[in-house]
Amino acid sequence: LSPKSLDDAGAVFFKGEAEGIYIVSKMEGMHSRLSDYPFLAGFHVTRAALRDLYVKGAQPISIMVDIHLGDDCDVGKLFDFMGGVAAIAELTNTPITAGSTLRIGGDMVIGTRITGGIAAIGLAQRLLKRRDIQAGDLVLMTEGAGGGTIATTAIYGAMHDVLRETLNVKFIQACEMLFETDLLSEIHCMCDVTNGGLRGDLHEIAYEAKVGITVQEATIRPLVNRRVFELLEQRKVDYLGVSLDALLIFCPPDIAEEICLKIRERNIKIEIIGQVNDTQGEIRLIKQDGQEQLFPRFRESAYTPVKQAVGEEIDETEKQQMAKIIEACAIKALEKRAKFVEWLKTERL
Report, as an integer, the average pLDDT of 244-264: 97
CATH class of the domain at 129-313:
alpha beta
Q: What's the Cα-to-Cα distance from 235 to each of 153, 218, 302, 305, rounded to whole Å?
A: 8, 22, 10, 9
Comparison of pLDDT for 32 and 24, the residue scoring more: 24
Cα(47)–Cα(84) distance, rounded to whole angstroms?
A: 9
For residue 289, name the pLDDT band (cuts at 50, 70, 90): confident
pLDDT at 76 over 80: yes
Q: What's the confidence (pLDDT) of residue 75?
A: 92
Residue extents of the structural domains in the chain: 1-127, 129-313, 316-349
339, amino acid identity = K
Cα distance between residue 180 and residue 159, in whole Å: 38
Chain segment 124-182, per-residue pLDDT in tens: 999 999 999 999 999 999 999 999 999 999 998 899 999 999 999 999 999 999 999 99
* pLDDT (average), residues 199-212: 92
* pLDDT for position 319: 84
Mean predicted confidence (pLDDT) in 31-47: 96
Q: Give the global pTM.
A: 0.91
- Its CATH class, for the domain covering 1-127, is alpha beta
Residue 141 CB partners (closer than 8 Å, separation 6+): 193, 198, 219, 220, 223, 246, 247, 248, 249, 270, 271, 273
Pairing assessment for the beta strands 247-251 and 189-192 based on DSSP bridges: antiparallel
- pLDDT at residue 296, rounded to an integer: 64
The pLDDT tens digits of the residues spanning 299-346 come to 666 666 667 766 667 778 888 999 999 999 999 999 999 999 999 998
Residue 193 to residue 210: CA distance in whole angstroms:
19
Q: What percent of the chain is predicted at pLDDT more than 90?
A: 75
